[in-house]
Chain A
Amino acid sequence: MAALVKNEKKLHLKKRIAHTGRNILLNKEKYFLILPGVVWYAIFAYIPLFGLSLAFKKFIAKDGIFGSPWVGMVNFENVFADPAFAQSILTTLRINAGRLVFVFPFPIFFALLFNEVRIGRFKKVLQSVFTFPHFLSWVIVASIMINILGQQGLVNSFLKLVFGIQPIKFLGTPSYFQPLVYITDIWKSAGWSAIIYMAAIAGIDIEQYEAAEIDGASRLQRMWYITLPGIKSTIVVLFILAVGYLMSGGFEQIFNLSNAATWKVAETLDMYIYRITFRGSVDFSFSAAVSLFRSVINLVLLLAADRISKRIGGSGLLA
């Protein structure tokens, strides 16, 4: 009997594989489209996972990652002994929590705004204008910021000319650093990120709007009662993903916008890893230990956000 069941399962499996194969052949164009993504993830996300074992080893280049000797938790002991490490965690959390509050809503706001623009050409122009900064590198953005906010920049020159105010050190005052990060982040990425929400808005049944309009709903009411609930699941998913990045992200931005004057409030975990890896003596094991710690915390945060979201009745990221 057991053998019969086993055979049946095998047969079932074969059929499934054959079916999947046919399915792939039938939709080969679509599968071909996702191939670059799969390869990218394999090369840059999965294969490097093996390198995390360095966190528990003393890296000997000659022996490679696998041949290097195990040292237990020594690297982690060293990490936790460094006062700059704890400080960098706090800085990372502070900056990224602020991002969730101040930066995260902007793409939603932009998407809602774009959706309400009725003149097609104007809408396209607006979208292009807001999307363009996404393609600028942070090096260029930082240079632009120096020209705008520097001691002899546009803003200070204007303030001096009009109000006779002495130059303000926008780029050298630690308390201005976080707002600067958020403003530049919004300017650079909100237009681009809005595309995802606009795609979600495009999926909302148009009849809902027509019915609401007949019922006398104003544009604001339609936005509030139809559009927003329509993209709620997208917002939740992106929010959970953003929580998963609480301990990382934004290295290029912080690296280019920070300087010696703002360094204390700018040394995020990524910056710390960079400093430890390349500025002092090269220590890949130490850096791997910090990276692993960061990834574990990120995973925990992501799972927690997902669970909380489901608990409060919203949708989640994981099945």
Chain B
Amino acid sequence: MKSVKRVICLLLAVLLVAVFTACNKEVDTKPTATPEPTQSTSVEETPTPGPTEENKYAERVTITYACPQVRAGFDYTNGDDYAKMLSEKFNYEFKTTNLPWNEWHSLLSTWIMAQNMPDVIIYNYGEGTHADAVNFVQQGLIRRLPDDWKEKWPGVADVYAKTTLGPKLEEMFGGTYFIPRARFYYNLLGEPLANHWSAWVRWDWIQAVGKEKKNNYSIPELMEIARLIKEKDPDGLGDRLAPMSFTTNNAARFFLEANSTYWNTFYKGADGKYAWGAAHERTLEGLKLWYQAFTEGILDPEFYLLEYEQDMEKFQTLGEAGISYLGGQTADIERYRIDFSTRTGLPQEAFGMATLLGTDGYYHQRDLINYWGAIAFSPKADEKVVERWLDVMEWACSEDGYPSTSMGIKGVDWDRDANGNLVSLVPEGVLLSGDVGEGKYPSLGHVLGSVILWDDLQFDNPNITPSYRDESKALYQNRYDLSTPETFTKVDWKVWMNGTENMRRARGIAYDTEFANMVTTAKSEEDLVQIYEKWLQDQMAIIQPVLDELNQ
């Protein structure tokens, strides 16, 4: 019997090894996992009829693409006239995958590591993901663009040169692997670049509690307003009223980032030595304010339960929040107000945006860097696919393409007057971009070839009410006016591009969650300080090696 058992065990083992070997061999030749995008990576041999440019696009290609801004389930090839116009012009089939925002990096990383990424991706490039990007490039998991790509696609190259990050990466990698998408091109505000993130405030409530309407407030000023809102409850909301509503992440941005420039990273101090921003006194000060807001009940009592954009929902949809801290770029400023008014039944004028200042009265921010998300290509993507998409990108940077990415089809939705100025042809009340059934072109946005993001054109976009454009410009401008080079700082590339093992571990610290936990568990302000100091000590095992490296 024992022998039989042995034989069976042996057979099973051989079977397992055989299966494993088979699987392993397959890894070398084709992707193991089967995310939708890669399955469709192909160049179809049968040319399809349709308009072509001097037969350049005679061969129809299938392009797979993944990015969080994709509308799930929408047909980006023929789903609307704009998508159709582009897919016919460049003769492609566009297959998209929507990435959930909170899984953006993890999903892409997994696909890249499995050598199974779609043809085109928008990589969530940032300080925290740079080390992974370096890793991917070193392993040949991201496609290197041909050395002459700038000559072939000069429009894209021009935009690329303005992203700051693009040329920096090129210098480091010795070639181009990522094309960052520029936030601004024609309307670049300056360096460092200001963020659009703003305090969302209810003007009607601020006036109801007898406070001044301004386009900038310090954290303590807004806390004072929140106290009065809580006390007077202008709309009689009772228990539903949330004078301040933030998700955990946005609360950290409001109380910590707006008060302490380096709250979650490393910086070079006045003595020329690198230090840890979490240990800076201004970080503790912000933390104390957060604690005060929580214990006084002016902050949403269960802010830690709010999921992504639920704070926005409380402000914009339910009309229950007095102050939030959310995106405020010009491109969205009108849309947000229309939605607010439609959903709450309140006038658009009740919705205000303001620059948030620290307790010192200064605006705090690290350089946003002129990009958001970087375009990268799969090493396995067919060359024709890569070239076709770069052509689409080149068009999106052209005189006609650039306005089209925001304003729709030339001659239908917009045109130029005799002076070359943009003229809107969109009838009043028609929404260009939006979900299916809501917007005229659900495909319009940052997906189809966009290299210059919406932020740029919005200062000149005639579809946006001029007063809103002016308001937005003023908001950006006061961030420069209300800051110093010490509070609104240029990027420190030594820290930003640091990808050592120690730095990678240090970046794994979930600062917003850690600080939120301190705020919710502290019994008193003294207790909070003790918890904070103990936490700082505990983290030194991870932080000190990084400081040692930086100060070498």
Question: Which residues does A use to contact B, with CB under 8 Å?
Answer: 9, 12-13, 16-17, 19-20, 42-43, 46-47, 50, 60-62, 64, 66, 78, 81-83, 146, 150-152, 167, 169, 171-172, 174, 259-261, 263-264, 275-284
User: How far, in Å, is B135 (CB) from chain A's closest CB?
Assistant: 8
| Main DSSP-derived SS at the A contact region | helix
Task: Tell me if B16 is interfacial: C-beta within 8 Å of chain A.
Answer: yes
Partner of B302, one of A19, A62, A169, A284: A169
Contact at A20–B16, with CB atoms within 8 Å?
no
User: How far, in Å, is A22 (CB) from chain B's closest CB?
Assistant: 12
Inter-chain contacts of A60 with B (CB < 8 A): 139
Contact at A174–B3, with CB atoms within 8 Å?
no
Question: Which residues does B use to contact A, with CB under 8 Å?
Answer: 1, 3-4, 7-8, 15-16, 19-20, 23-24, 27-28, 103, 105-106, 109-110, 112-115, 128-129, 131-132, 136, 139-141, 239-240, 248, 301-302, 304-305, 501, 504-505, 507-510, 512-514, 516-517, 520-521, 538-539, 541-542
Inter-chain contacts of A279 with B (CB < 8 A): 106, 508, 510
Inter-chain contacts of A20 with B (CB < 8 A): 4, 8
List 18 A-B pairs, Cβ < 8 Å. Answer: A13-B7, A60-B139, A61-B112, A61-B136, A62-B141, A81-B541, A167-B301, A174-B521, A260-B248, A260-B513, A275-B510, A276-B508, A277-B106, A278-B109, A279-B510, A281-B128, A281-B129, A282-B113
For the complex, what is the distance from the CA of A115 to the CA of B64, rounded to whole Å?
A: 57
Closest chain B residue, CB of each to CB of A277: B106
- Residue picked from A42, A172, A260, A277, most chain B C-beta under 10 Å: A260
For the complex, what is the distance from the CA of A156 to the CA of B508, rounded to whole Å?
A: 36
Contact at A47–B7, with CB atoms within 8 Å?
no
User: How far, in Å, is A285 (CB) from chain B's closest CB?
Assistant: 10
Inter-chain contacts of B542 with A (CB < 8 A): 81-83
For the complex, what is the distance from the CA of A192 to the CA of B477, rounded to whole Å?
A: 62
User: How far, in Å, is B536 (CB) from chain A's closest CB?
Assistant: 12
Contact at A83–B508, with CB atoms within 8 Å?
no
Inter-chain contacts of B510 with A (CB < 8 A): 263, 275, 279
Inter-chain contacts of A13 with B (CB < 8 A): 3-4, 7
For the complex, what is the distance from the CA of A279 to the CA of B105, rounded to whole Å?
A: 8
- Residue picked from B15, B128, B129, B520, most chain A C-beta under 10 Å: B520
Known contacts being A82-B541, A281-B132, is A259 close to B304, with CB within 8 Å? yes
For the complex, what is the distance from the CA of A78 to the CA of B542, rounded to whole Å?
A: 9
Known contacts being A61-B115, A151-B301, A281-B129, is A261 close to B521, with CB within 8 Å? yes
Contact at B516–A260, with CB atoms within 8 Å?
yes
Known contacts being A152-B239, A280-B508, is A64 close to B27, with CB within 8 Å? yes
User: How far, in Å, is A156 (CB) from chain B's closest CB?
Assistant: 10
User: How far, in Å, is A141 (CB) from chain B's closest CB?
Assistant: 15
Partner of B305, one of A43, A172, A264, A277: A172
Closest chain B residue, CB of each to CB of A152: B239
For the complex, what is the distance from the CA of A279 to the CA of B508, rounded to whole Å?
A: 7
Closest chain A residue, CB of each to CB of B108: A282
Contact at A282–B106, with CB atoms within 8 Å?
yes
Inter-chain contacts of B115 with A (CB < 8 A): 61-62
Closest chain B residue, CB of each to CB of A9: B3
Interchain residue pairs A-B with the least CB separation, the first 4: A280-B508, A260-B516, A278-B106, A261-B520
User: How far, in Å, is B523 (CB) from chain A's closest CB?
Assistant: 12
User: How far, in Å, is A238 (CB) from chain B's closest CB?
Assistant: 26
Contact at A50–B305, with CB atoms within 8 Å?
no
Closest chain B residue, CB of each to CB of A83: B538
Partner of B517, one of A66, A150, A261: A261
Contact at B16–A82, with CB atoms within 8 Å?
no
Contact at A61–B139, with CB atoms within 8 Å?
yes
Contact at B508–A171, with CB atoms within 8 Å?
no
Closest chain A residue, CB of each to CB of B1: A16
User: How far, in Å, is B350 (CB) from chain A's closest CB?
Assistant: 24
User: How far, in Å, is B55 (CB) from chain A's closest CB?
Assistant: 38
- Residue picked from A150, A172, A280, most chain B C-beta under 10 Å: A280
Contact at B141–A64, with CB atoms within 8 Å?
no
Inter-chain contacts of A260 with B (CB < 8 A): 248, 304, 512-513, 516-517, 520
Closest chain B residue, CB of each to CB of A282: B109
User: How far, in Å, is B204 (CB) from chain A's closest CB?
Assistant: 24
7 new A-B contacts, CB < 8 A, other than A60-B139, A62-B115, are A16-B7, A61-B136, A62-B141, A64-B27, A260-B516, A281-B132, A281-B507
For the complex, what is the distance from the CA of A19 to the CA of B8, rounded to whole Å?
A: 13
Partner of A61, one of B4, B141, B517: B141
For the complex, what is the distance from the CA of A174 to the CA of B519, rounded to whole Å?
A: 12
Contact at A280–B19, with CB atoms within 8 Å?
no
For the complex, what is the distance from the CA of A278 to the CA of B102, rounded to whole Å?
A: 10
For the complex, what is the distance from the CA of A169 to the CA of B295, rounded to whole Å?
A: 13
Inter-chain contacts of A284 with B (CB < 8 A): 113
